[in-house]
C-alpha cells in the first residue's frame, strides 16, 4: 500500500505540475502498535530503493504522533528491539500537547506541529531554554472556524507571529490546519487555499491534507501532507 500511495502521489504531482520531492509526507502512525511500527520503518527503508521519486525522499522518515505516551512506547521499543533504526526517522507531535506533557515531549519529538495557544508556546519555550535548545514549530490554525477544533483564528495570526518572534527557543516554520471531516471538496479547497495564502504572506510552510483530502492539499500547494488510514487501514 505504501508503493501504491507513492505512485498516486507521483501522478497527482504531475497533473498539477509540482515536483513530488517538494511534498513531504508525514506518516500518522497512531494506528500502529510498537511492533507494527518497526515493521513499517523497515518497509519504508525497502521502499526507498524503488524508482519512485517521492519514495526516494524518505530520509528521514517523518513520523507524526498524536499522543506523547504512545510515541514514547514506540520509541522505547525501537531502542530495545531495533536500535539500528533510531537514526532513520524523526518524530513530530501532531496532536494536542498538554502542558504537563511538555518535559516528556521535548525528549521525544524533533518538532511540534500543534501550537494552539500562546500559553503553550510560552511554556514550551521556557522548558527548552533550560536545555539551551531551539525547536521548530507549526502554529495550528482553525481556518474552518469549527468549535470542536483547536487553533488560532486566521485574523489573529499576524499578532501571534509577532509574539512568537520573542520566544528564542521556538523556531516558527509553518502553519497547520485540518479541514472538516467529511466536508465538501470545494469547501476543503477553499480552506487550504486560505491557509496557503496566509502562510505565503509570512514566508512560512504549510501542513495540510490528510488521507481523505491530501490530493486537494497537494493541488493547493501544501508543503506537507499527513497520511495515516490511506496506508494503515
Give the pLDDT band of residue 2 (cuts 50, 70, 90). Answer: confident
What percent of the chain stands above pLDDT 70? 95
The mean pLDDT value for 46-74 works out to: 81
CA distance 184 to 142: 17
Instruction: Name which of 46-50, 137-141, 161-165 the model is least confident about.
Output: 46-50
Q: What is the per-residue pLDDT across 80-111, written as a single tens digit (0 to 9) for each?
A: 999 999 999 999 999 999 999 999 999 999 99
pTM of the predicted protein model: 0.93
Q: How many domains does the chain have?
A: 1
> pLDDT at residue 16 above 70?
yes
The mean pLDDT value for 174-197 works out to: 94
Give the pLDDT band of residue 46 (cuts 50, 70, 90). Answer: confident
Half-sphere exposure for 66 (CA within 13 Å, toward CB): 8
> pLDDT at residue 171 above 80?
yes
Give the pLDDT band of residue 54 (cuts 50, 70, 90). Answer: low
Give the pLDDT band of residue 50 (cuts 50, 70, 90). Answer: low
What's the domain range around 12? 2-232
> Exposure pattern of 12-36 as b/e (b: 16+ CB <10 Å)?
bbeeeebebeebbbbbbbbebebee
pLDDT of 56: 58
Taking Cα atoms as reference points, which of 38, 14, 64 lies closest to residue 225?
A: 64
CA distance 120 to 8: 37
pLDDT of 52: 59
> pLDDT at residue 120 above 70?
yes
CATH number of the domain residue 25 falls in: 3.20.20.10
106: CB partners within 8 A, 6+ apart: 124, 127, 128, 131, 133, 135
Amino acid at each position: 500500500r505504501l508503493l501504491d500511495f507513492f505512485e498516486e502521489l507521483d501522478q497527482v504531482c504531475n497533473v498539477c505540475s509540482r515536483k513530488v520531492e517538494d511534498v513531504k509526507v508525514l506518516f500518522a502512525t497512531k494506528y500502529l502498535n510498537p511492533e507494527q511500527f518497526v515493521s513499517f520503518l523497515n518497509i519504508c527503508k525497502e521502499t526507498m530503493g524503488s524508482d519512485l521519486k517521492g519514495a526516494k525522499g524518505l530520509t528521514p522518515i517523518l513520523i507524526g504522533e498524536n499522543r506523547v505516551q504512545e510515541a514514547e512506547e514506540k520509541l522505547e521499543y525501537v531502542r530495545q528491539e531495533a536500535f539500528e533504526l533510531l537514526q532513520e526517522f524523526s518524530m513530530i507531535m501532531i496532536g494536542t500537547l498538554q502542558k504537563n506533557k511538555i518535559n516528556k515531549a521535548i525528549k521525544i519529538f524533533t518538532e511540534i506541529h500543534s501550537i494552539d495557544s500562546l500559553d503553550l508556546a510560552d511554556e514550551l519555550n521556557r522548558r527548552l531554554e533550560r536545555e539551551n535548545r531551539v525547536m521548530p514549530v507549526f502554529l495550528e490554525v482553525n481556518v474552518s472556524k469549527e468549535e470542536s477544533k483547536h487553533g488560532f483564528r486566521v485574523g489573529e495570526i499576524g499578532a501571534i507571529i509577532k509574539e512568537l518572534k520573542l520566544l528564542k527557543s521556538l523556531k516558527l516554520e509553518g502553519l497547520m490546519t485540518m479541514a472538516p471531516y467529511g466536508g465538501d471538496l470545494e469547501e476543503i479547497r477553499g480552506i487550504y487555499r486560505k491557509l496557503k495564502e496566509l502562510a505565503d504572506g509570512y514566508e512560512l510552510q504549510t501542513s495540510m491534507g490528510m488521507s481523505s483530502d491530501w490530493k486537494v492539499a497537494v493541488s493547493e500547494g501544501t508543503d506537507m501532507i499527513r497520511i495515516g488510514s490511506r496506508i494503515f487501514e
